[in-house]
Amino acid sequence: MVKLSVIVPFYNVQTYAPDTLKSLRANASQDFEFILVDDCSTDETPEILERASRDLPGAVVVRHEQNGGLATARNTGIDAARGEYLTFLDGDDWLRPGYYPELLAAIEDLGCDFLRTDHVQCTARARSIHRVPQGRRGVVLHPRDVILPADRSTSVDYAYAWAGIYHRRLVDDGILHFRHGLRTAEDRPWIWRLHREAQSFAVVGLLGVFYRRGVASSLTQIGDVRQLDFIRAFDQVVEETAQDQEADQLLPKAVRTYCAIIAHHLGNIERFEPPVARKLRSMSAAALKRMPQDVLQDALDSMDYERASRLRRLRRRPVAAEVAA
């Protein structure tokens, strides 16, 4: 029986994939499988994965004929997974030796639906520890109970899929898949769904994932039109949360976070090409008009002057019918 399925999408990461795969080998076990999803890479990544399929115990290589993006690649891995538990890693990140056996032991000991962990962020030679914004560690909690408050960072703001491990029952319940085709912010609606619909989770102070920040090919570093998928992602968060039985309590958090992300992108708009910057402004203005207006007003009133003013100006901007839809 496969105990743990590790899902690792790869796309044009020939520089980093060898380190990622080496760290997986240092975490291998006879009851682990490693599902390596090549998302139609055009560099030497496929050859690297082909060698890994022979050298890495439990490796399974799955190839996409067309590039689908991170969300679609992860879904491919979920569909192929056979493990009682699932976890994720990105193709340019790496692990410390022996991390996955410890992670598996932690969730089995606690018996919850999913477990969240801290991680180490790596920017060039700098290292910094990033912690799950939840103070209670090593105890089982109800995921819904830690979504709020709206004006502070909470567990739904720590959306990294690879910073945790997930029981198969979340797949069976239709909770673990990502929205197909999202190119960025794919983990935002995903983490919100986990916290609204799963029954139990816990946080442990277990460090083992090294997240490589500032990779030139990463979408977080590229100001192209794919970055605008954050709007589709947060539209989904707001739409699904509005249908929740506790929508009146949860929507202020969803809307305020959405506003903060829009303000962040507008504040860094110079990194986008002019046509994409114009599209960002028009799509963001339309998104503000789609939000529940009373909740939006409260969110703007709670934000600092600079961000609130930026968003209020955008809110007054006329929006073409095709963009508003």
DSSP, collapsed to helix, strand or coil, labels residue 61 as strand
pLDDT tens digits for range 256-292: 999 999 999 999 999 999 999 999 999 999 999 999 9
pLDDT at 33: 98
pLDDT at 267: 94
Strands 126-130 and 85-88, by their bridges, are unpaired
Give me the chain's average pLDDT, please. 94
What's the rounded mean pLDDT across residues 172-184?
Answer: 95
| Token duo for residue 29 | 């076990």
pLDDT tens digits for range 71-123: 999 999 999 999 999 999 999 999 999 999 999 999 999 999 999 999 999 99
8 Å CB contact between 315 and 288: yes
Q: How far apart are CA 315 and CA 325, in angstroms?
A: 16
Can you list the domains of the chain with their CATH numbers? Answer: 4-213 (3.90.550.10), 225-324 (no CATH)
35: exposed, middle or buried (C-beta count within 10 Å: 0-12, 13-18, 19+)? buried
Radius of gyration of the chain (CA): 20
Q: How does residue 136 score in pLDDT terms, banded at 50, 70 and 90? A: very high
Q: For residue 38, what is the enclosing H or E element?
A: strand 32-38
pLDDT at 10: 98
